[in-house]
Structure 1
Amino acid sequence: MPVYTVHAPSPAGADLRATDKFVFVRDGFHFWAMIFGPVWLLWNRLWLALIGYLVFVAAFNAGLSGLGLGRGSIFFADVIVALLTGFEASSLRRWTLSRGKWRQLDVVIADDEDTAERRFFERWSKSQRGIVNDQWAVDRGGPPPTRNVPGQPFSNPPPIPAGGIIGLFPEPGGSR
């Protein structure tokens, strides 16, 4: 199963206003980062990683050419660099997020990103007890409140109308 790391945009603390900005980064091999390394880095806005990649590949190829290696050897070395890019793509993304003042909140194991989001937010919402206006965080462990307990914020039932009960049975306890 894939492992996802969850990152929040602000170091001051995550709250409900920022949940749509959370980023889930899948750990593991990224095929498209291996095949289209610079394009993948551009697509994911990894600017410093792209500059480092381009400088490294240019210097690496110039160094191998300077040593007198043939084109086949340089191509094989470039394939190895592409494989390393595919393996380290998620680490480059996490590094870029950490440089941008994002912080890692959690690690989630799930089959896909949707399942990872659901598992994370289930666990995260349980830990966010002090949130104001959180309609869904209800403790269902105790019995429901009753009207007999003094101090409960319930209203009293409406009074019986003066002319009797309105409905199918006009008198309480009357015959049908």
Structure 2
Amino acid sequence: MPVYTVHAPTPSGADLRATDKFVFVRDGFHYRAMVFGPFWLLWNRLWLALIGWVVFVAAFNAGLSSLGVGRSSIFFADIIVALLMGFEASSLRRWTLSRRNWRQLDIVVADDEDNAERRFFERWSQKQRGIVNDQWAVDRGGPPPTRNVPGQQFSSPPPVPAGGIIGLFPEPGGSR
């Protein structure tokens, strides 16, 4: 089963308003990163990793050429570099998120990203109930007051005002 790491965009952690910006990064081999290395880096906006990849591949190929290595050996060395890119793609993505001050919130094991999101948010929402500044969750504290329990503040109805009933129908049982 794939393993996903969950990252939040704020350095202070999780905010309920930022849940649509959470990023799930799948750990493991990325075939598209291996085949389309620089394009995959561009697509995922990994600018420093792209610059590093271009510099590394250029220096690596120039170094092998200066050593007099044949073209077929350089081709196989480039395939090994592409395999390395496929294996390390998720690490590069996590590294870029950490450089942008994103925080890793959790690790989730699931079949696909949708199930990972579901599992994460189920577990995360249970943890969020204890947050004090949560504006959307209301802690009721206990059952609502009832009229028949003596000693509660809402046990008896409020007193009738001195002038009778206030409202649209001043006489009880009067015509409408």
* TM score, norm. by length of structure 2: 0.79
- Choose from 125, 133, 136 the match for 2:136: 133
- SS in structure 2 opposite 1:105? strand
Residues 26-50 of structure 1 show CA distances to partners (whole Å, capped at 9, x for unaligned) of: 0000000000000000000000000
Q: CA deviation at 1:153?
A: 6.9
Distance 1:155 1:103, change over 3 A: farther
Q: Report what 1:174 is aligned to.
A: none
Task: Please show how residues 73-152 of structure 1 align to structure 2 within 5 Å.
Answer: 73-129=73-129, 130=131, 131-134=134-137, 147=146, 148-149=148-149, 151=152
- Structure 1, unmatched stretches of 5+, are 157-161, 164-176
Equivalent-residue separation in structure 2 for 1:153 and 1:87 (angstroms): 65
Residues 48-105 of structure 1 show CA distances to partners (whole Å, capped at 9, x for unaligned) of: 0000000000000000001101110000000000000000000000000000010100
Task: Please show how residues 148-159 of structure 1 align to structure 2 within 5 Å.
Answer: 148-149=148-149, 151=152
Contact 2:145 2:154 in 1 (8 A): no
Q: Report what 1:172 is aligned to.
A: none
Distance 1:151 1:21, change over 3 A: farther
Equivalent-residue separation in structure 1 for 2:19 and 2:128 (angstroms): 12
- Structure 2, unmatched stretches of 5+, are 158-171
Query: How many residue pairs end up in the alignment?
Result: 155
- SS in structure 1 opposite 2:26? strand
11-20 or 73-82: bigger deviation: 11-20
Q: Report what 1:65 is aligned to.
A: 65
Q: Report what 2:8 is aligned to.
A: 8
- SS in structure 1 opposite 2:7? strand
Equivalent-residue separation in structure 2 for 1:115 and 1:90 (angstroms): 19
Distance 1:64 1:121, change over 3 A: same
Equivalent-residue separation in structure 1 for 2:107 and 2:65 (angstroms): 43
Distance 1:115 1:152, change over 3 A: farther
**1:117 partner amino acid:** E
Q: Over aligned residue pairs, what C-alpha RMSD do you find?
A: 2.5
Q: Report what 1:168 is aligned to.
A: none
Equivalent-residue separation in structure 2 for 1:119 and 1:154 (angstroms): 44
Q: CA deviation at 1:152?
A: 7.7
The structure 1 segments of at least 4 consecutive aligned residues displaced by more than 4 Å after TM superposition are 152-156
Q: Report what 1:170 is aligned to.
A: none
- SS in structure 1 opposite 2:11? coil
Residues 111-168 of structure 1 show CA distances to partners (whole Å, capped at 9, x for unaligned) of: 0111111111111111112322237x999xx9x6572445487997xxxxx77xxxxx
Query: What percentage of residue pairs aligned between the two structures are identical?
Result: 76
